[in-house]
Amino acid sequence: MDNRPIGVFDSGLGGLTVVRELLARLPGEDLVYFGDTGRVPYGTHSPETIARYAAQDSRFLQNHGVKFIVAACGTVSTTAPQVLAELPVPAMGVLEPAADAALAATKNGRIGVLGTSATVRSGAFDTYLKSKQPVEVFSQACPLFVSLVESGWIERDNEATVAVARRYLQPLREQGVDTVILGCTHFPLLTPVLSDILGEDVTLINSGAACAARCEELLREQDALCDRDREGVCQFYVSDRPQGFSAVADMFLGRRVEQDIHRVNLEDMDRV
C-alpha cells in the first residue's frame, strides 16, 4: 500500500482526460496534475525542446513526492520516451496502452493514428504497432485539433470543427481503417465529431482511458495502490492563467473543478 500521489502532466488540458479516467478507476488516489498551459502545444516544437519540457515537468511532479508519473501527452510519449525511462520513479506514457488496445480491437489489420505533428513525425506508433503484429498503419497529423478542443469547439454541429475533421480524416477513410488511435489526450473530446465522420464501424481508441487502465494495472502489480478506505484529493497546477484553465477544465473532467488552481512561474520551471 502506498498513499503517495500519482503525478500526471501534459502540455495543456488534454491530460485531464487521463485524470478523469483515473478518478473513475481509483477514486481513493491522490493526484497532482501539471498542465503546461504557458507552452502548449508541445507538438510544434523540436524533439530537443520537447525532451527538456518533459524533464522539467517530471521533476516538478517529483518535488511533490509522487509515487508514479503519467505523461498524459502523446507528443512526449512518442518523441521523448527516454526522459520517462530515466526517471527515478516509475513512469509511463500513452503510446503503449493505446497501441495495445488498438491491436486488440482491429479486425482487418488497418489502423489509423491521429496525433500532433511531432507524434506523427516520430513514427513511434507505427514502429510499436508493427513490432507487435503485421498491421498496416496510417498516421495523420491534426495540428489544429488541440486549439479547437482548448477553445471548447467540440460540438458535433460546429461547422469549423467538422470541416477541419473531415479534411484530416479523409485519408484514413480512403485507406479503409477499422480502428483509429486518438494519439493525443485532447482528441477524445472530439469523439462525437470523429465518429460521425468515420462511421460506427470504426473503433476509436481513447488514449486517456487506455492509459488509466494500464496505470491501475501497474500500480496493482507493484502493490502501490492506496488505502481503499479514503477519498482522494486532486491538486492542479498550470504555467499560465489559472482562470483560463478553470473555464474549460470542467469540460475535460466531466465535473466541476472545486479545488484552487495554482500557477507555476515558467521562469522557475526553466531553472528546474
Quick: pLDDT tens for 189-198. Answer: 999 999 999 9
Is 234 a known active-site residue?
no
Catalytic residue among 73, 142, 215, 234: 73
Q: What is the pLDDT of residues 100-118, one digit of tens each?
A: 999 999 999 999 999 999 9
Catalytic residue among 184, 211, 215, 226: 184
Burial of 163 (0-12, 13-18, 19+ CB in 10 A): exposed
CA 250 to chain centre: 16
Angle between helix 95-105 and helix 124-132 axes, rounded to 10 deg: 50
- Cα separation, 17 vs 189, in Å, equals 8
- Cα separation, 59 vs 56, in Å, equals 5
Write down all domains in the chain, each with its CATH number in brackets: 6-94+210-270 (3.40.50.1860), 95-208 (3.40.50.1860)
> What is this structure's pTM?
0.90
Is 73 a known active-site residue?
yes
Q: Please check the confidence at residue 128 and state whether its pLDDT lies above 60.
A: yes
